Amino acid sequence: MSEKWESDENVVTETRKEERVKKPRMYRVLMHNDDYTTREFVVEVLRGVFHHSEPEAVRIMLHVHYNGLGVAGVFTREIAETKVRTVEAMAREREYPLRLSMEPEDDEDEDDDDR
């Protein structure tokens, strides 16, 4: 069934190296404690913007309250930036000084790129 074409004899084929798509770098969205933002508002933000359950939102809020800083979630850079802007706008609207920041998550397998 496979016919050999006359022109096939002079065809040179080249095998391409398989390209691996890198995973995007992930960023932690950090919440900072302050003395004015209510606990209820922080839980509302964690549930509404970060989609945590009620118990998980309360746990994160208490961690931020007692430790001064906590991770609200881990996202790609663009999503993390959007969530930070969204929460800061909500806080400004209610006149809370709630502050969020982002930091890159440690890449444990940076050396494994050549696998």
By three-state DSSP, how is residue 102 classified? strand
Residue 21 CA to residue 18 CA, distance in Å, equals 10
The model's pTM is 0.75
Identify the CATH class of 26-105: alpha beta
Residue 102 CA to residue 81 CA, distance in Å, equals 8
> DSSP letter at 106?
P
- Asked if pLDDT for residue 39 goes beyond 80, the answer is yes
CA distances from 53 to 29, 50, 56 (A): 17, 9, 5
Q: What is the pLDDT of residues 77-107, one digit of tens each?
A: 999 999 999 999 999 999 999 999 999 998 6
Whether residue 97 contacts residue 91, with contact meaning beta carbons closer than 8 Å, is answered with: yes
